[in-house]
């Protein structure tokens, strides 16, 4: 049981560059971004809702369910036994008041045993899988409700349930979507015992991120996954951190192949070369002198999206919906880390030394970068999909 002693207080972020996260490209089909673009010093959630799924609203699920995801990523033999006693933390901003009830609706729909309720400080001591919720400081003074972030939270906890049904889930809610508050929530998640911390948000890069990555994301032995972004080619923080696994996105479809599935790069997945962060020792691509995003990937295209249940109404929508975005991919990969055991993890080092345990993804692009691998999925490493997608948990 891990109980880190580090506690980081929120601080006023000093930025030398201003800017707003890019607007999303127009080629996402019938889909809509859940969260508004983020101003400098803040992050936006990286979830997209498939608007075609909303009309049928809510009585029954559509989209990919747990059995589909486990089959696509060769995880079925692990999900029934692995992950017990491990804690996946979900870090998001603002409050989802129905998160616990909603995740158990999702689990019941798919025959997954319900999560018990536990407290943030006892989550690792639970003898059965449990759910706990904390504010960014480890207490119960939850922030204000936000319907968009509530959809993001439901997406994240449902994906953790789908991939690692025996894992505990710890939801840590930041007071606002500022990088400082979200980073404080990450530190709190680690302090409370999480072995995996999933982050489905990001914002524009800024010069101070090289300090902030050490302040908030440098937790050796803890797998920290971050969505790469949903605005196509371009880099977000904290995906650019050396201390995280940056998770890109794919379009996942059934196929008449031995695997039964095929993947190409999703056009919205973030990728590229960081403007500020040094290249980690485990990354060796030659077209970028600094940190390259992404490392690995998973399904993110809202057109091939996942079923999610959320009862906190937002823009008139509640119930069963279909979501995409690299917000799907980050908790999927985080949960694979939990299945794999989170052994010897420092950033994304283990996936670079176990590429045979990944499905390579080639085909598709997320923008224009002169035909480079930084925006085009090619055989081997590329920006939009990284080294590929999980083929079992051997790389994690």
Give the helix, strand, coil percentages of the chain, each rounded to 5. Answer: 25, 30, 50
- How far apart are alpha carbons 191 and 186 in whole angstroms? 9
Phi, psi torsion values for 153, nearest 5 degrees? -60, -45
**Residue 321 confidence (pLDDT) above 60:** yes
Q: Residue 15: what pLDDT?
A: 33
CA–CA dist 392, 250 (Å, integer) = 17
What would the mean pLDDT of 245-262 be, rounded to a whole number? Answer: 97
The CA distance from 120 to 51, in Å, is 35
The larger pLDDT score, comparing residue 20 to residue 187, is at: 187
Asked whether residue 212 carries a pLDDT value surpassing 60, the answer given is yes
Residue 244 has pLDDT above 60, yes or no: yes
- Paired strand residues for 200: none
pLDDT tens per residue, range 154-178 = 999 999 999 999 999 999 999 999 9
| Segment 355-379, tens digit of pLDDT | 999 999 999 999 999 989 999 999 9
Which pLDDT score is estimated for 5?
Answer: 36
Tell me the residue length of the chain.
396
Task: Record the pTM.
Answer: 0.92
- pLDDT > 80? residue 55: no
Report the pLDDT value the prediction gives residue 57, as an integer from 0 to 100: 53
Confidence of residue 147 (pLDDT cuts 50, 70, 90): very high
Residue 371, token pair as written in the block = 């035909």
Query: Residue 371: what pLDDT?
Result: 87
pLDDT at 135 over 90: yes
Averaged confidence pLDDT in the chain: 91
User: What pLDDT was estimated at residue 54?
Assistant: 65
């Amino acid at each position: 049981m891990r109980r880190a002693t580090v506690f980081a207080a929120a601080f006023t972020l000093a930025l030398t560059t201003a800017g707003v996260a890019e607007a999303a490209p127009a080629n996402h089909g019938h889909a809509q971004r859940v969260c508004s673009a983020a101003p400098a010093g803040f992050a936006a959630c990286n979830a997209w809702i498939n608007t075609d799924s909303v009309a049928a609203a809510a009585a029954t699920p559509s989209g990919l369910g747990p059995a589909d995801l486990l089959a696509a990523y060769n995880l079925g033999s692990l999900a029934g036994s692995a992950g017990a006693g491990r804690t996946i933390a979900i870090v998001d901003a603002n409050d989802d008041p129905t998160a616990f009830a909603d995740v158990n609706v999702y689990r019941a729909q798919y025959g997954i045993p319900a999560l018990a309720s536990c407290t943030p400080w006892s989550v690792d001591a639970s003898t059965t899988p449990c759910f706990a919720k904390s504010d960014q400081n480890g207490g119960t003074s939850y922030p204000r409700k936000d319907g968009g972030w509530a959809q993001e939270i439901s997406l994240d906890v449902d994906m953790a349930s789908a991939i690692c049904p025996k894992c505990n889930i710890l939801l840590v809610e930041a007071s606002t979507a500022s990088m400082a508050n979200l980073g404080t929530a990450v530190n709190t998640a680690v302090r409370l015992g999480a072995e995996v911390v999933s982050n489905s948000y990001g914002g524009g890069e800024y010069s101070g991120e090289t300090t902030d990555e050490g302040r908030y994301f440098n937790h050796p032995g803890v797998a920290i996954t971050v969505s790469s972004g949903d605005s196509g080619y371009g880099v977000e923080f904290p995906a650019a951190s050396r201390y995280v696994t940056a998770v890109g996105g794919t379009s996942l479809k059934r196929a008449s192949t031995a695997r039964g599935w095929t993947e190409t790069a999703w056009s919205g997945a973030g990728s590229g070369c960081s403007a500020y962060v040094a290249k980690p020792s485990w990354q060796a691509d030659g077209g970028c002198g600094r940190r390259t995003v992404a490392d690995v990937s998973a399904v993110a295209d809202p057109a091939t999206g996942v079923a999610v249940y959320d009862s906190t109404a937002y823009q008139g929508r509640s119930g069963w919906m279909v979501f995409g975005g690299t917000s799907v991919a980050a908790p999927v990969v985080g949960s694979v880390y939990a299945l794999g055991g989170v052994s010897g993890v420092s950033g994304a080092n283990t996936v670079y030394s176990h590429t045979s345990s990944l499905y390579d993804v080639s085909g598709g692009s997320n923008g224009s970068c002169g035909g480079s691998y930084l925006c085009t999925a090619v055989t081997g490493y590329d920006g939009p999909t990284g080294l590929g997608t999980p083929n079992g948990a051997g790389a994690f």
